[in-house]
Amino acid sequence: MNESYKTVRGSGSKEIVIKKSRFIGHVMPVTTESEATAFIEDIKKKHWNATHNCSAYMLGERNEIQKQSDDGEPSGTAGKPILEVIRNQGLSNVAIVVTRYFGGIMLGAGGLIRAYTDGAVVAIESGEPITRVLHRQVFVEVDYTWLGKIENELRNREVRTGETYFTEKVILTCLPRNNEVEQFKLWMTDFTQGQSLITDGEQLYFIEGE
């Protein structure tokens, strides 16, 4: 799993008008190709009477899945520019559809490339670009006498935390960045003077800064 990747927070759409043609950019975060294709088909159904619904998506740990469609526009004037916007903005796990309602004025190849590029850009803006960072659950089991000290130190170090479980002992769910896990466990062992039981949990993505 990647230590971090840039995507969008959620679905969004925004319309721009270029020489009387309406271009509506739609975006959706996706994690599988089936999610991407379902999103594209949903937009096509919603805008069934549009002149074109051009699309592109990029996903996978190494962005190994990249697809684009001109949907009837001249080859290379729609899907490819949308895909280039995704690539140039460093995004992953994203699908974009740019819907066009023809306004009666021909744009030419260069004009179409610029229009679909702009449509993709406003789509991404509407979905709000974010960075997801990989963290790992680290469960720390200690006597109750340690609880306040550990909670205070975690706050001071700005370590993300999850649920706390109260049993015969207390179990804190800590969520350090995945690439800092070993360092975190060494620090926790030292801080608790070896009196903590530390176990690993799942790897989870969280939005950077939240």
Looking at residue 19, its pLDDT comes to 96
Query: DSSP secondary structure string, 73-120?
Result: SSTTSSHHHHHHHHHHTTB-SEEEEEEEE--S---HHHHHHHHHHHHH
User: Cα 115 to chain center, whole Å?
Assistant: 24
pLDDT in tens, 113-150: 999 999 999 999 999 999 999 999 999 999 999 999 99
Looking at residue 100, its pLDDT comes to 98
Separation CA 118–CA 100 (nearest Å): 12
Reported pTM: 0.90
Residues 6 or more apart whose CB falls under 8 angstroms from that of 205 comprise 132, 133, 134, 135
Looking at residue 65, its pLDDT comes to 98
Separation CA 90–CA 102 (nearest Å): 30
Average pLDDT of the chain to the nearest whole number:
97
CB 119 within 8 A of CB 82: yes
pLDDT in tens, 60-115: 999 999 999 999 999 999 999 999 999 999 999 999 999 999 999 999 999 999 99
Mean pLDDT in residue range 41-66: 97
Q: Which domains does the chain have, with CATH numbers?
A: 4-127 (3.30.230.30), 132-207 (3.30.70.240)
Question: Which residue has 């006597």 as its token pair?
Answer: 143
